[in-house]
Structure 1
Amino acid sequence: MSARPLRVVFAGTPEFAVPCLEACRASGAEVVAVYTQPDRPAGRGRKLAPSPVKQAALAAGIAVEQPETLKTAEAQATLAAYRPDLMVVVAYGLILPRKVLAIPRLGCWNVHASLLPRWRGAAPIQRAILAGDSETGVGLMQMEAGLDTGPVLLEKRTAITGDDTGGTLHDRLAALGAEALADGLARVLAGAMLTATPQVAEGVVYAHKLDKAESALDFSRPAIALERQVRAFDPWPGSDAELAGERVRVWAARAVGPSQAGEAGRVIAAGREGIAIACGEGTLRITALQRAGGRRISAADYLNARPELRSPRPP
Structure 2
Amino acid sequence: MKSIRVGFAGTPEFAANVLNSLLTEDSGNYSVCMIMTQKPKKSGRGLKLVDSPVSELGQKHNIIVYTPENLCSANQELKKKLKSIDILVVVAYGLLLPLNLLKLPQHGCINIHPSLLPRWRGAAPIQRALEAGDTYTGVCLIQMDPGLDTGPIWAYEKIAIAKKDTYETLEDKLFGISEKLIKNFLHHQIFDPNFILKKQSDCGVTIATKIAKIEGKVDWAEKASIINNKIRAFSLQPGIYSTYGAMRVKLNDSVLLDSDIQLNLEVPGSIVGVIKIKSGQEVLKIICGKGSIGIGKLKKEGGKWISPRDFINNNDFKKSIFFV
TM-score, with length taken from structure 2 = 0.88
What's the CA shift for 1:243?
A: 3.4
Whether the 8 Å contact between 2:11 and 2:54 is mirrored in structure 1 is: yes
Structure 1 partner of 2:165: 164
The sequence identity of aligned pairs, in percent, is 37
CA distance in 2, matches of 1:238, 1:58: 30
Is 1:150 aligned with 2:155? Answer: no
Whether the 8 Å contact between 2:286 and 2:292 is mirrored in structure 1 is: yes
Whether the 8 Å contact between 1:275 and 1:286 is mirrored in structure 2 is: yes
What's the CA shift for 1:5?
A: 1.7
Structure 2 partner of 1:117: 118
CA distance in 2, matches of 1:285, 1:220: 15
Q: Which residue identity lines up with residue 10 of structure 1 in the other structure?
A: F
Is 1:267 aligned with 2:268? Answer: no
Whether the 8 Å contact between 2:96 and 2:148 is mirrored in structure 1 is: no
SS in 2 for 1:296: coil
Q: Which residue identity lines up with residue 179 of structure 1 in the other structure?
A: K
Structure 2 partner of 1:86: 87
What's the CA shift for 1:129?
A: 0.4
CA distance in 1, matches of 2:96, 2:74: 15
Structure 2 partner of 1:290: 299
Distance 1:61 1:193, change over 3 A: farther
What's the CA shift for 1:43?
A: 2.4
What's the CA shift for 1:12?
A: 1.0
What's the CA shift for 1:73?
A: 5.2
Deviation digits for residues 26-83 of structure 1 (CA, Å, limit 9, x no counterpart):
35212221111112222222222221111111222211111112211525x5233451
Decide which moves more: 264-273 or 94-103. Answer: 264-273
What's the CA shift for 1:190?
A: 6.7
Q: Which residue identity lines up with residue 270 of structure 2 in the other structure?
A: R
Structure 2 partner of 1:239: 240
Structure 2 partner of 1:63: 64
Decide which moves more: 112-121 or 240-249. Answer: 240-249
Q: Which residue identity lines up with residue 5 of structure 1 in the other structure?
A: S
Whether the 8 Å contact between 2:296 and 2:308 is mirrored in structure 1 is: yes
Deviation digits for residues 188-218 of structure 1 (CA, Å, limit 9, x no counterpart):
4675654311111111010010001111111
CA RMSD of aligned residues (A): 2.1
Q: Which residue identity lines up with residue 266 of structure 1 in the other structure?
A: S
Out of 295, 298, 317, which is 1:308 matched to? Answer: 317
TM-score, with length taken from structure 1 = 0.91
Distance 1:259 1:305, change over 3 A: farther
Structure 2 partner of 1:39: 40
SS in 1 for 2:72: coil
Deviation digits for residues 97-137 of structure 1 (CA, Å, limit 9, x no counterpart):
11001111111000011010000000000100011111111
What's the CA shift for 1:252?
A: 2.0
SS in 2 for 1:96: coil
